[in-house]
Amino acid sequence: MKWGRRRQDVHQVTDARPSLSADIRGREVRYLIKMGIRTMCLILAVVVPLPWPYRLLFIAGAVFLPYIAVIGANERGRDAPPPTFQSPGANQTEIPLHRREIGS
């Protein structure tokens, strides 16, 4: 290593985060799939004559799948690597710009 040269970080294309629109689209598709499964569970529990253990299984799916779908839809950047930048030390006497309220 020569004096005066610093080792540079090499970034790869696979380290890049997906675009915001691609991330939102993927979350929408996963949400709609889960809610479609929930709709099928509800229809099977009400319309199709099944024994009670199967009917209770479909009712549980209809009840708990919305919660799972919403949690999954609100999850952002699941596949993205953690950020590698270092943030500078914050001045503790000043309110950060993103925390200021309207009219302050």
For residue 31, which phi and psi values (nearest 5 degrees)? -65, -45
The residue written with tokens 């229809």 in the block is: 43
Other CB atoms within 10 Å distance of the CB of residue 15: 11
Q: Which of 26, 30, 59 is nearest to 42 (CA)?
A: 59
pTM: 0.59
Per-residue pLDDT tens digits for 12-60: 666 677 788 888 899 999 999 999 999 999 999 999 998 999 999 999 9
Instruction: Please say whether the beta carbons of 88 and 25 come within 8 A.
Output: no
84 DSSP assignment: -
Token duo for residue 9 = 């970080």
